[in-house]
Structure formats: structure tokens, C-alpha cells
Structure 1
């Protein structure tokens, strides 16, 4: 992925070989000494992150924060559920100051497992609107992505599209592409329908989607877009930021895929388009609380938000941040109005519905 010129591209030059038994995560120190060796002497100003985000743009932002503040950012990357379990296991002995995840349901789960504490900061409250923060400020929104309908510009007119519910219509039989039900993105989408429409309608929707599969779910969101370009299907449910990554890929074939698909925000006349959130929480036993809050303030600043949006094609949570041209070209849209905690509350039921309706 190419990084915007807002920040100088960063090559991560140091890794910390810290054992992660049973976790499968990796440790990185984003700040390094001149000889390329991580400086982790006691007493140094630092902040430690456990993150489920694996993006070069994040690493570059952490480096810029270190350059501006002198505070080192040590990063442990892994799957969100593993990192939550690790935080629970480590308890008061944990070195983690911040936990970052890419789903509102996961953030709710972290809160329910009592591994986070409220954050108090006027700067953060000014940077991030209330609807993109936990009601108790146990986590703060960092970026959002919308789950939209991508469509073949050659075979589908946007006037044919309307709602998620309409995708169950027989006119989409053998034309719909979507990834597996094991995807957290799909689980949270269905969880939002359970919250808004009830379990019965959510199940009917899932069943209707399965009936209209162009093929059995396969691959990630980018693969659904590629399948549209290959003529396997005509419409797909996917996240907006993958369209951005395709459009700005160094692979000309991926750029061509992006050029051939359109972006449609469903349910604009009803409940709004489903949006999920990346969020960052202060761990309950943070040892570097002041530094951690400074980093949250920086990550939600206009400068960092514009960089993240320009390089990872997510929507900024700071309303003063300018979106890149591609995102601006999609226009404004109405998003679902619901408490992100409900995505976690309905996750188990969503998985049950997927299994019942044969969404593999």
C-alpha cells in the first residue's frame, strides 16, 4: 500500500522477540535506536499497544507520534479475541496501555470483560462525536467503514439498488457475492438487523441472501469485487475501504477491478447504511496512562485522521478532517443509528442464524 506524502514512509526496523505462548501475536517496537535495535531501557517514555489492526498506515502514525513527543510506541499485533484473553490472563501485570479492535462488537466484548477503563479528555471529546464513542468512554472511535453494495457498472444500474433487504429479491438470484459467515463484518451486519428488525426478520434476510448466492462464499471482500469483474456475480456486500485499496493498488489489474465497480449506500430511505468502527480503549491496568491518552488524542486529531483516511480509505471520526477525493466522490450518506454495544450482544444469535440458514 502506498503511503501519502503527508508523512514520510516508515520502514519498521525493530522487533521485540517477546514470547507469546498460546497467543499467535507478534511484537513490534515502532521506535528504534540509530543502529536499528529497539531501545527498551526502564524509565523511557513509552506507550504499549495491543492491536488487532495490521496496517502500515497505523505504524507510520505511531512513528510520527514518537517523533513529535519522544514517546515510544511498542506494538503487539494479534487477533482481537486472543488479545482480550491475554489481557484477562495478565491482569494487573500487563504492560499493555491501549487495546485497539476493528469491530464495535469486539470493543463491547472488551468492555464486558472488564479490561478497559474510562478515558477522560476534553481533547478527545472535541475530536470524536458522542455517537462514535462508548457511552462510558471505555473506547473511542478511531475510524469507520461502511458495508455497502458494490455493483457491476456494466450489468447493474444504481437505480436497481435500494436496500439490504432488497438483495433477497428473486431478481438477484445467482447474482449475489459475499464472504463467509465467519467474517466478523457479516456477523456484525446481521447483528445490526437483529437489533433493528428483530430475530425473525434477520433470519428471513439471511435465508434470502443464501438463496441468491452466485457461488458459495469464498475469499475476503476484495475477492468479491474481483469476482464481479470476472463475471461470476453482479453485486456484492463489502466494506468501502477495500474499494479504496483496490483503486490505489500497485497492481494494475486491481485498479481495473475498482474502475469497473460502483459503490451504493443502501437503506438511505429507511434505517441507513451499516457502519462499523475501529476503536481504541485504555486498558484497566495501564502503567503509562498519561502517554496513552496523549496517543488517543493524537490518533483522533485532524492530522492523523486525514493521513489514515488518505492511506487506508476509512472514514475519519473527526468531522474536521478532510476525506480523500475517492471517498468524497461517493458523497454523503445516512448511517445506521444504533449503540455499537448491540453488535456484541447479538453476535451469538447472528452466528446461530447463519448456521441455521446455511450461510457457510
Structure 2
């Protein structure tokens, strides 16, 4: 009996140690590509000793969380685009995080009013212009100018229904109203050089080939193209412009994070989320991804800084996201992609 009790105590001790070790981890579900976030996660582990387990997905993250329900191992969710963050809210898949650290590091316009999601980086929805045929656009240039007749047959863009463009349309609705946004979409469509297609880089390639003169594209793609031997020439053919500098400001979208509703490692999840808003992680994000840090005072990379300062639209992204369905409706009504 004594031996049995000793064995039982030993087994409980082993199980207890295993539970303790298991607690020193955090599980991440991510839409962001591995090479974009692994350096930050490795730095977190080095600083805290907490192991980070990552599952990467191209799509279906919300559906996966719904299927797993309360048994989901997910702790922290990393994604891009305000619409995807809003989807997590609408489907009740995330929980509020009460963190003074995060609140101090992330401005209110770039986080949920109930602290259910937080931005990590900013990327402007910029306008690329041909160096040879157009030159640098001035501060007076605004997104609304894309509908002016002077740009007829000169604009390239990817699908209007891509999340990046839907968010831009949502911001136009928020700033100008639904009727004006529809008229704007009709004007932009009339000015397209070709049917919407490809990705943001493909539009810059089209400018370099003379197919169009200006295009819509996220700012960080300029850095990615400059770093790519095959695409470097495309980047050299354009200027990056931040619209709305004398109006509402440039529309910005975000990469962001949230804590899963049933996070099994809640304390470690919050530690990771706080770390990702720290100076160390924000600097790494800026250097690796050509994005702007969300934390006030954190420096952009030298390359991104060389593109010039810009003023972002102060409209809360939560407000922008509320117009997502209206934006999709207008894109259908105007047959933008057809």
C-alpha cells in the first residue's frame, strides 16, 4: 500500500509538472505569413520563456474557430484588414482584453471600443503614379479625384471586392455618405484602363508597361517590390502618394490581433499581445514588413520614412468597418468589377 501511494504521488507530481509546463505556452492562429511574424514570436519566447505554437491559414479562420467552439486551442488571433477583425466580433469569437499596456500603446481609433481587437501595424491605401507620365501627386490630391474625367482610361486596380478596396469604399461612405460614394465608384469605373484584375503589385507592373498611369495599392508593396530583383524595375517606375492630405487624410488599414473567446492560456495570451505592441516588436514589424508601427513614437523603417510623412484619416476604423455591407452593395450596384 505504501509503495502504491508513493507511485500515485509520483504520478500526480509528473502530471502536475506536465500541466505547469503546458501552461507555459500560447497558441496562435494567424493569417499572416510565417516569415512576417516568426521573428517577433521568437523574440517573445526568448524574453519570457513562453513557447509559441502557430497555425497558419490563408482563409477560413473564423469558420475554424466556430467548428472548434469551446474546445479550440486558439489563444491569440493574428489577421489583416479591419473587415476580418469585425467578422470575429460579429461571430462572437473573441473576448475583451483589459490591458493598460495595450491601451497606452494602441491609439483608440485603431482598436475596438470594447477592447476586443487591437491594431498592430498600419498600411495606407495609397495611389501609385507613373514617374514619367504623371509625376508626384500633390497634397491636394484626394481619393475623390480618381473619379474626375481627366483620369479617363488611366487607372488600374485589383477587384473592387478585395478586402483592401472594400475597406477604402467603406471609408468613402463614412466620410462622404452613401450617395456620393456610389457616384464616386461610377466615376472611378469609367476611368479604368482595364477590367479590375490581379493584385496590387500587378497594377504597378501595368504602370511600368504603360497600360495605365495611376493605381491603387497598399504602401508596403513598394518596399516588397524594391526588395525583389524581378519587380525592382516596376517600383522604380512609380511614385507613392498619400491621398487626402488636405482633406480627411489617407485611409489606413491594419494588421491586428485579438484574444480567442475560449483561450486556454489567457494570461500568456495577454503577455504576447502586450509584447507585440512593445517598442521591440513594433520596430521589428516596421523593419520586416514595410508597414508603419501603430504605437505612437515608434519609428518607421528608414526606407518607409524616405517615402515621406503622411496624415492618416482620424476616423475610427470601427466606424469604417460598420459600412462594409453598404460598400459591398454599392460595388454590386455599380457592377464595378464587370
Between the two proteins, the alignment pairs up a number of residues equal to: 319
Q: What's the counterpart of residue 75 of structure 2? A: 97
SS in 2 for 1:253: coil
**What's the CA shift string for 1:172-226, capped at 9, x where partnerless?**
1111011012310001100111111111111111111111111111210011111
CA contact (8 A) 1:109 1:344 kept: no
Contact 1:106–1:344 (Cα < 8 Å) also in 2: no
Alignment-derived partner of residue 9 in structure 2: none
Name the structure 2 match of 1:68: 47
Partner of 1:241: 220
Residue aligning to 1:217: 196
Given that 1:108 and 1:340 are in contact with CA atoms closer than 8 Å, whether structure 2 keeps it comes out as no
- Give distance in 2, aligned partners of 1:229 and 1:158: 15
C-alpha contact 2:244 2:250 (8 A) present in aligned 1: yes
**1:189-208 → structure 2 map (5 Å cutoff):** 189-208=168-187
Match of 2:256 in 1: 279
Q: 2:286 aligns with which of 296, 309, 314?
A: 309
Task: Report which of the two has the higher share of helix.
Answer: 2
TM-score (norm 1): 0.84
**3-state DSSP class of the match of 1:158?**
coil
Alpha-carbon distance between aligned partners in 1 of 2:282 and 2:322, rounded to the nearest angstrom: 29
Gaps of 5+ in 1: 1-38
User: CA–CA distance in 2 between the matches of 1:121 and 1:144?
Assistant: 21
Q: Which has the larger radius of gyration?
A: 2
Q: Residue 166 of structure 1 aligns with which residue?
A: 145
Q: Does 1:176 align with 2:151?
A: no
Distance change >3 Å, CA 140–CA 340, structure 1 → 2 = same
Name the TM-score, length of structure 2 as normaliser.
0.89
Match of 1:87 among 62, 65, 81: 65
Q: Taking structure 1 as reference, are residues 118 and 159 closer, same or farther at Cα in structure 2, changes over 3 Å only?
A: closer
Using the alignment, how far apart are the partners of 1:126 and 1:348 within structure 2?
A: 31
Query: Over aligned residue pairs, what C-alpha RMSD do you find?
Result: 1.9
- Alignment partner for residue 265 of structure 2, among 278, 288, 294? 288
Once the two structures are TM-superposed, the CA of residue 55 in structure 1 deviates from its matched residue by 4.5
Distance in 1 (CA, whole Å) between partners of 2:297 and 2:51 is: 27
Quote the Cα distance in structure 1 between the aligned partners of 2:42 and 2:125: 30
Structure 1 residues 36-82: Cα deviation after superposition (integer angstroms, max 9, x where no partner): xxx999725211111121251202211222222221111122245x2
1:117 aligns with 95
